[in-house]
Amino acid sequence: MRELTDHQLMLLVQSKQSEALSTLYDRYSSLVYSFAWKTLKDENVAKEIVQAVFMRLWTTKSVYDPEQGRFSSWLLTITRNITTDWLRKRRRDTAPLVQVEPEQLAQIPDQVSASPEDAALVSSTKEQIRRAYSKMSAQQIHLLEHFYWQGYSISELADIYNQPIGTVKNRLHQTLKILRRHLVAEGEQS
């Protein structure tokens, strides 16, 4: 099983072959755990998130499509969604916003068992994001951090910022366009 690609393993998982799920778990559990721990800062909850992510792989009807991107990105999207759901359940209406600075990107743990190529890609991506963040305002960075890392919904952010939902949506859309433009420019320079 270890020689199979992630896509091949996911097809086997869809056929309920538990050994394929076990192989994916061995490959990616540390990545999922790192993401959950970075977001939640709670070891026990991060472990629960890992279980929930791999349970989702086992039970989901959605299929990973290698044409759409890397398996690790698809898996981290699932992880982010589950983590965000957990955060939203836990958060109280009066919880204060936490400010995350771009310098903290360097603290994102890399996958322990990453190949040299994967490690280089992760390092390059982090550096591109860091440089793109340097072109953005603090307000734009905080909006991204609150929405993507802390899991606030647009309506929650509208309440927190005391702005109409449409304004927050527009600000987020414009911020993502700026980030995308700078990431594309960074990618072309690499």
Checking 164-168 for CB contacts under 8 A at 24+ apart, the result is 168/143
Give which of 129, 131, 123, 124 is closest to 148, Cα–Cα: 129
Fold designation for 95-190: Arc Repressor Mutant, subunit A (1.10.10)
> Domain 1-90 class?
mainly alpha
Per-domain residue ranges of the chain: 1-90, 95-190
Q: With beta carbons less than 8 A apart as the criterion, state whether 1 and 19 touch.
A: yes
144: three-class secondary structure by DSSP: helix
Phi and psi at residue 185, to the nearest 5°: -65, -40
List the chain pLDDT tens, one digit each, 190 residues: 778 998 999 999 988 999 999 999 999 999 999 989 988 888 999 999 999 999 999 988 878 888 888 898 899 999 998 998 888 777 654 455 555 555 655 555 555 555 676 667 667 777 777 787 888 888 888 888 888 777 788 888 888 888 898 998 999 888 888 888 877 765 556 5
Q: What is the pTM of this model?
A: 0.52
Give which of 127, 142, 115, 107 is closest to 34, Cα–Cα: 107
